[in-house]
Amino acid sequence: MESTETKIKKSIIQKERGELLFPDDFRKLGSSEAVRLALHRIEKEGFIRRVAQGLYVRPKLNKYVGEVLPTAEKIAQSIAKRDKIRLVPTGVYALSALGLSTQVPMKLVFLTDGAPREIKLGKRSIKLKKTTPKNLSAIGNISRLVIQALREIGKEQLTNEEEAKIINLLKKENKKELLHDLELAPVWIQKIMEKALNKK
């Protein structure tokens, strides 16, 4: 009889390096307690790395820097997929994702329809804030970030240069998705989004 530990190791080897591993991924290989202990032991021997509570990875290897751990963004996406929740980046993270800020936020804040919580990732963290369905209804990859980024900047603080950059970004958005998301934005943001439509 193979131990839970051996079965889990075999399963991990079959996955791509860099893929995030949750205890639930191995629930068919043993009881939740056996899986938890096995992952703890496998991590202690250095076969996998723990990136957050209940979240592991077998890091990708790079010949120059050694182990490469998944980004905080990838971790957030994996959690959303596992928990079947929606996430919308907010604040400084939305600005940085659009290239409007060079600041790399230490805390990534997302609006979600899932449970609010904070996930520690070493020096960085992911914060999930519960919000209304309307705030999660935007569908465009660019326009949903733009709405949050503009909220972060604020109507009075927005410079002409920032507005021009945002309009250029929105021109790349799918027109149907942009029209959908425009309806969800505050009036002052709608006016900026409309400029991108007029110039398309």
Mean per-residue pLDDT over the chain, rounded: 92
Does the pLDDT at position 200 exceed 70?
no
What is the reported pTM? 0.81
What are the residue ranges spanned by the domains of the chain? 8-67, 72-198
Q: Residue 121: pLDDT band by 50, 70, 90 thresholds? A: confident
**CATH of the domain spanning 8-67:** 1.10.10
Q: Residue 110: pLDDT band by 50, 70, 90 thresholds? A: very high
Does the pLDDT at position 199 exceed 80?
no
Write down the pLDDT at residue 198. 79
pLDDT tens string 131-160:
999 889 999 999 999 999 999 999 999 999
Does the pLDDT at position 105 exceed 90?
no
Write down the pLDDT at residue 128. 95
DSSP conformation letters of the chain: ---HHHHHHHHHHHSPTT-EE-GGGGGGGS-HHHHHHHHHHHHHTTSSEEEETTEEE--EEETTTEEEPPPHHHHHHHHHHHHT--EEE-HHHHHHHTTS-----SEEEEEESS--EEEEETTEEEEEEE--GGGG----TTHHHHHHHHHHH-TTT--HHHHHHHHHHHTTS-HHHHHHHHTTS-HHHHHHHHHHHHT-
Write down the pLDDT at residue 2. 83
pLDDT tens string 47-72:
999 998 889 999 999 999 999 989 88
